Structure 1
């Protein structure tokens, strides 16, 4: 079952899964960032549940840039390690693609860590995504 997470308790219920991807985030910081992203950036947090337990999560937001035009950016996509390779990532990413089409967005884009070769194979080979750029980051101390 796919469902949007809005309330604090729903957002927190996805934390154990999201923590498998965003290992640097403690629970309260995670909740605060999700809340801010929802309020400021139109971030959507969507979960896939089995037997009442969340097993996969996707976070995405609609965006407009000169490079991509109107598109949806996938910020987070993670499936519980005990449930990987069962098609759940495909289900949620397909959900995001359908959401984007229904809301008149022209594409879906995401970034993936350099060392996540399995994820790259999934995006390119299974989902048909093209590798179009590198993402660069500078942290301020």
Structure 2
């Protein structure tokens, strides 16, 4: 590896560490969603090229992220919502495992769509996002 490439990797690692250290809990969850979606996209590319080991590693990373998201649910906050989200995360995990075991793109795509929808909903409830201005009426 060239010296400049090593320096770039080090800079990226420091940036990631800085982002995580300074992030709010809401932003950390958004980062988990982003990480899962990015890894799904990369896993799909590896699968399409027949690079099964790399595909498996990435899907395993997504499984760990989804497990972390599911584990962070606070049942005391909204039990009915938590039950539904937990069931959805369980379904996503099953689809990821199917994609990995059967080397199929479709379950991977579905897991990505579902996580993408959850990520969008999560962004929409960002407590740090400025509230819309009320219409004068």
Per the normalisation by structure 1, the TM-score is 0.31
Structure number, greater radius of gyration: 2
Using CA pairs below 8 Å that are at least 6 residues apart, which structure has the higher relative contact order?
Answer: 2
Per the normalisation by structure 2, the TM-score is 0.31
Instruction: Tell me which protein shows more helix as a share of its residues.
Output: 2
